[in-house]
Chain A
Amino acid sequence: MDGQQSVRPVGPIVIDIENITKDYVMGEEIVRALRGVTVQIRRNEYLAIMGPSGSGKSTLMNMLGCLDTPTSGRYEFNGRNVADMDDDELAAIRNREIGFVFQTFNLLPRATSLRNVELPLIYAGIDPDTREERATQALVDVGLGDRIHHKPNELSGGQRQRVAIARALVNDPSIILADEPTGNLDSKTGDEIMMLLEDLYRRGNTIILVTHERDIATHARRTIHLRDGLIEMDHAGFIPELDAVIAN
């Protein structure tokens, strides 16, 4: 990017996490993946979560994405307590509030772009006409207006990730959670995807980026560094020098 990042005013708190922990039982051992993380994320933030593997980055992402519930601690999403929700309630939150973008795109291979993007709307109980209209619009928004009836194997990697981003956007979620969105793309295509995310941010979306690549994290307006299940640093913008210090 040009380094001249515009910071948009932030809105009310979307995610409010206080002292959450997560333990996994691995055979005989208990792995403490998160040891007490406290973080608040507001509407219209662009946040990067960084950390080496084993830092608890993925676990935190699963928590934020309501794919998993914490062992202890408080987690409120838009004021609703998510920590004690059951599977189906979590599914409803994921459906309406969170747009996932995965490293491996995770598109349904035999479905067209349109059908892939329609999926969250089906689970939301939207009628077919509205569904098609909104899915088409989402595809146009990510620049794939002419690829609506293509299947994933007829699209390039970058186009696939765009379909995935359209799918994440289509239900108008509170946050977009992108897990290594450029991990499977060449650098040029990766840049295009990051431009798209920047564009989405500027249009008022809240973006959480999970990555271990510094280049990618520079796009965010705020960075959280995780290490050994704890937040090591939470700072505005991206400070390369600081990052270098931490990496050592």
Chain B
Amino acid sequence: MKRFLYELEESWKIAAAQMRSNMTRSTLTALGVIIGIVAVTLMGTAIGGISVGFDKSMSVLGDDVLYVTQWPWKPVDDWWNYRDRKKIQTEYAETINRMIAATPNSNLIVAVPTSSLMRSIKFGGNAVDNVFTLGTTSDFTLTSTIDCKEGRFFNEIESREGAQVVVIGYDVADALFPSESPIGKSVLINGQLFKVIGVNSRQGTFLGLFSWDSMVALPLTAFNKYFSSKSASDVRPDGASVESDVRVKVKDKTKLPEAKDELTGIMRRVRGLSPEKKEDFSINEQQAFKSTLDPVKNTIAVAGLFITGLSLFVGAIGIMNITFVSVKERTKEIGTRKALGARRRTILLQFLIESTALCLLGGFIGLVIAYLMCVGLGKAFPSFPIQFSFGLVIASMIVSILTGLVSGFAPAWSASRLDPVAALRYE
């Protein structure tokens, strides 16, 4: 064991001396690994970024909130079965809340109704079209990670009385009030004036998935009064349709299935379904959405890593080549070492460590370059998802070591098998 350590130390010294004395050659060979590691690492950060972006978008939904909707959150083949379902009414929320209150040890906390519509918003000469306009109650803050940069969300009284107040998203505020605080100003939505009482803090967008940045929220009572036609079809004359659903906060997110069952029971009673009838509503959660997106995410990851992995493979071939050259050049040295008592393992180790050291060096430089590129990219495109993690550093180093071991093995093995007599005679 001790001898192994000494041999290991000796091998590292030789590897370092080799690299120093063959600077150009080592640098060029390492370049292949550097490029490979940069490619793989950048792909890793991009994948990490995409993942974080997904999760961030997803967190808007909340992991402890159930959504009662007409359509399920997953692709369906028999869409016609869902099309004719009755719309979800915002009034269900009150009924559900009553039932929650009447149930001892309920897994649910509160039901919050939401209605939404795309509207234009104007202030002075500025206007933003197609803003996701949400009508809800003050309980909404319980179900969402939303928080205000300035001002506040509307309170219970404003909610109940249908006060003409609005909380606007970061991007909306930015577009309408480029140089002043929006708080206290009145914006025009659908010909009605609403006073801005809050601005959401910036959330960032990813792939155009949900973001509070480009939406506004106002009390449901006011929403219904001014935007909803209340017709059975919920379709306004201008064709814009109001989407309503009910979100229900769960007490304990580890008991999501139980909560879901409870809510299903409540909804069946709300809808008055007899036991043999199928449900005519869907209860969704963040997870369902995730499981649709995860395969996409994974496909991107696998394809990306495979393609960038090819460049690392090319680097590995370079290492293998140079190690073969090194073995050939130093045949006589190998012979001498064997004559002095180096065993096969010793020689094998020596060349494996040489190739590994080269790969590690390349990997390290590659990581530094990748890190600098990430920082640069992050500065240039703040919204571009980049995630440079410690785990990635470790992974890159492990990949470098493995590359060195794999690409160095064949040459090192051939070196260890050399016949000492022939090796000593080699010129």
A residues adjacent to B (C-beta < 8 A): 62, 65, 67-68, 87-88, 91-92, 94-96, 100, 102, 106, 108, 110-111, 119-120, 122-128, 167, 171
Contact = CB atoms under 8 A, between A and B. Distances in A.
Interface stretch (B274-282, B335-343, B386-394): B335-343
Nearest to B6: A122
Contact of A125 (B2, B17, B336, B421): B2
A68 B336 CA distance: 14
Contacts of B338: 67, 91, 94
Given A62-B421, A67-B424, A91 B7 contact: no
Contact of A67 (B10, B342, B421): B421
Contacts of B339: 65, 67, 94, 100, 106
Contact of A123 (B7, B332, B333, B335): B7
Interface string B320-354: 00000000000011011111111111100000000
B41 to A, nearest CB: 33
B3 interface: yes
A86 B324 CA distance: 25
A106 B342 CA distance: 14
Contact of A100 (B17, B340, B342): B340
Interface string B55-83: 00000000000000000000000000000
B17 A167 contact: no
Contacts of B346: 123
B105 interface: no
B254 interface: no
* Size bracket, chain B contacts: 20 to 34
18 contacts: A67-B339, A68-B419, A88-B343, A94-B340, A94-B341, A96-B341, A106-B333, A106-B424, A108-B333, A120-B340, A120-B341, A122-B10, A123-B340, A123-B341, A123-B343, A123-B346, A124-B3, A125-B6
B179 interface: no
Given A110-B17, A123-B346, A125-B2, A68 B421 contact: yes
Interface in B216-262: none
A127 B2 CA distance: 8
Contacts of A68: 419-421
B21 interface: yes
A62 B338 CA distance: 12
A102 B21 CA distance: 25
A91 B342 contact: yes
Nearest to A98: B339
Nearest to A128: B6
B19 to A, nearest CB: 11
Contacts of B342: 91, 123
A123 B346 CA distance: 8
Contacts, number: 71
Contacts of A102: 336, 424
Contacts of B333: 106, 108
A125 B342 CA distance: 11
B343 A87 contact: yes
Contacts of B340: 94-95, 100, 119-120, 123, 167
Given A119-B10, A119-B340, A128-B6, 8 more contacts: A67-B339, A92-B341, A106-B336, A108-B333, A111-B17, A120-B340, A125-B6, A126-B6
B124 to A, nearest CB: 77
A119 B337 contact: yes
B401 to A, nearest CB: 23
A187 B123 CA distance: 104
A67 B420 contact: yes
A123 B342 CA distance: 6
Contacts of A96: 341
B326 to A, nearest CB: 13
Contacts of B419: 68
Contacts of B7: 122-123
A171 B78 CA distance: 85
A98 B343 CA distance: 15
A126 B339 CA distance: 18
Contacts of B3: 123-125
Contacts of B336: 102, 106, 108
Which 7 pairs between the two chains have the least Cβ-Cβ distance? A95-B341, A125-B3, A123-B341, A106-B336, A91-B343, A88-B343, A67-B420
A128 B7 CA distance: 11
Nearest to B18: A110
Q: Which of B2, B7, B336, B419 has the most CB of A within 10 A?
A: B336
Contacts of A111: 17
Contacts of A87: 343-344
B175 to A, nearest CB: 67
Nearest to A106: B336
A88 B348 CA distance: 13
B145 to A, nearest CB: 59
Contact of B343 (A92, A106, A128): A92
A88 B417 CA distance: 11
Contacts of A94: 338-341
Nearest to A105: B336
B4 to A, nearest CB: 8
A95 B3 CA distance: 13
Nearest to B337: A119
Interface string B402-427: 00000000000000000111001000
A96 B341 CA distance: 8
B200 to A, nearest CB: 65
A70 to B, nearest CB: 13
Contact of A110 (B2, B21, B343): B21
A126 B338 CA distance: 17
